[in-house]
Structure 1
Amino acid sequence: MTTTPYATRATAVAARATDLSKVYGQGETQVVALDHVSVDFGQGEFTAIMGPSGSGKSTLMHCVAGLDSFSSGSVRLGETELSTLKDKQLTKLRRDKIGFIFQAFNLLPTLTALENITLPMDIAGRKPDKRWLEQVIEMVGLSGRLGHRPTELSGGQQQRVAVARALASQPEIIFGDEPTGNLDSRSGAEVLGFLRNSVRDLGQTVVMVTHDPVAASYADRVIFLADGRIVDEMLRPSAEGVLDRMKDFDAKGRTS
């Protein structure tokens, strides 16, 4: 299987995986984490990736984001084919073109909120666009907390810093790996709202791995993985619809 019904999008494409496979080990210990996956992530869209544990959802995101290698197939970010890049080129691409938000906030404890936000650009030797930076900081509600260090911020505020850091460099695409996994429901809703607003108001592209149907309902579409393959897609998802689809996976897992 080299394509899926979910591969072609009407909008411009920010990232594309084509016939993507990821295999760990050999022989009897071989594990197929991704099995010929083809999917597009449209520019200015918010996509959630879901599936049971071991379905390949995090592996897919890590391969498309250039955080992990793949066994065969193709990944393109914009016009750049990731498999042609050497390590230094891949590091530069991640730094310049991609924003990341992780479940662990990954903030440096010795830096202020503002210093954490601008750190990737500081490392790259680039100055942030002042107007854009101010817009991002205002959107995530951090204007009064910029001088605070992470230990002086709540978990929700720390994740706001992480969201602002991902947005500040105006990346082509943002990848989130369970970005609300360590937050309570209220803080999680705030962070998801900021991501939703960044797509709607700033034209950002967001791809998020989540196990939470409520989180997935903030996305424009959800793609579902099972056994390393994309098996379904849902546009304009609701939390109830996503939950029902996930229950189907659970039922099939018990009967298989």
Structure 2
Amino acid sequence: MTTAVAHASRTAVAARARQVTKAYGTGETRVLALDNVDVDIARGQFTAIMGPSGSGKSTLMHCLAGLDTVTDGRIFIDETEITGLKDKKLTQLRRDRVGFIFQAFNLLPTLNAIENITLPMDIAGRKPDTEWLNRVVTTVGLADRLKHRPSQLSGGQQQRVAVARALAARPEIIFGDEPTGNLDSRAGAEILGFLRRSVDELGQTIVMVTHDPVAASYADRVLYLADGRIVDEMTSPTADQVLDRMKSFDARGRVA
């Protein structure tokens, strides 16, 4: 199947949640992290998820990515329902169709940059698409750092390797959990710029949890969570608009 045909056969929605509930504990100690959430993640767009601490934003991302189970409801990656998948099938889906970027760079210190980038594919026994890999490496500005080990790279460069690793297997969707949280503002802006370019130039779909209004301003759409529910959204945001919206949440996470 050609790339054009493959993309044409996919829906315009890369991932979706239907009536998703996530609860921890039972009885009086039961905590509702997600409360009947419905959301569509558009393909080929950059979506940011924001909300006060404890609002459920990381839980939502982890459930969408198949990293956590739901108590009730359904999660889909494209047309594949992942709720109820056996561990082996779910692991395979995450490996082949989903990419991840976290605060911690999660690089192996004994491998150089290119080896860290291709490691997931090497483990899966898949050969990288050389043309695509070169495009990814160029997009994130690593062409002259591929032989360097993590200890020889700055924090920003290490996170570039992590971004390239997520992009290299050409996943259908990439999830980022505070991907710039451990970086200074300059390095963080570089990483966000690379993520933006990967959407605009490489057609990637990205979902990012963040607390930073500047980071959220790189997204096409911002979803706001409070008390486990999506309570608002914004398209084409600016950092000031995001900050103003966040200020409307009181200390308990409800819209004022």
| Interval containing the TM-score (normalised by the shorter chain) | over 0.9
What's 2:3 paired with? none
Deviation sequence 1:149-181 (CA, Å, 0-9, x none):
101100000000000000000000000000000
Letter in 2 for 1:90: L
Shift of 1:20: 0.4
Q: Percent identity?
A: 74
**Structure 2 gap ranges (5+):** 1-10
Secondary structure, aligned partner of 2:131: helix
1:67/1:251 Cα in 2 relative to 1: closer, same or farther (>3 Å)?
Answer: closer
Q: How far apart, in 1, do the equivalents of 2:216 and 2:254 lie?
A: 24
Q: How far apart, in 1, do the equivalents of 2:113 and 2:94 lie?
A: 22
What's 1:5 paired with? none
- Asked if 1:48 corresponds to 2:48, the answer is yes
TM-score (normalised: structure 2): 0.94
Contact 2:227 2:253 in 1 (8 A): no
What's 1:136 paired with? 136
Letter in 2 for 1:33: A
What's 1:193 paired with? 193
Equivalent positions of 1:28-47 (< 5 A) are 28-47=28-47
Q: How far apart, in 2, do the equivalents of 1:204 and 1:25 lie?
A: 37
What's 2:214 paired with? 214
Letter in 2 for 1:146: L
1:247/1:130 Cα in 2 relative to 1: closer, same or farther (>3 Å)?
Answer: same
Equivalent positions of 1:1-20 (< 5 A) are 12-20=12-20
Deviation sequence 1:116-159 (CA, Å, 0-9, x none):
00000001000000000000001111011101110110000000
What's 1:78 paired with? 78
Shift of 1:252: 6.5
Q: How far apart, in 2, do the equivalents of 1:209 and 1:51 lie?
A: 9
Contact 2:226 2:253 in 1 (8 A): no
TM-score (normalised: structure 1): 0.94
Contact 2:52 2:253 in 1 (8 A): no
Q: How far apart, in 2, do the equivalents of 1:183 and 1:145 lie?
A: 19
Q: How far apart, in 1, do the equivalents of 2:83 and 2:13 lie?
A: 18
Shift of 1:250: 3.0
Q: How far apart, in 1, do the equivalents of 2:151 and 2:38 lie?
A: 42
Report runs of 4+ in structure 1 exceeding 4 Å deviation: 251-256
Q: How far apart, in 1, do the equivalents of 2:89 and 2:51 lie?
A: 31
Equivalent positions of 1:94-173 (< 5 A) are 94-173=94-173
Shift of 1:36: 0.2
- Number of residues paired by the alignment? 246
RMSD: 1.4
Shift of 1:240: 0.3
Secondary structure, aligned partner of 1:128: coil
Secondary structure, aligned partner of 1:20: strand
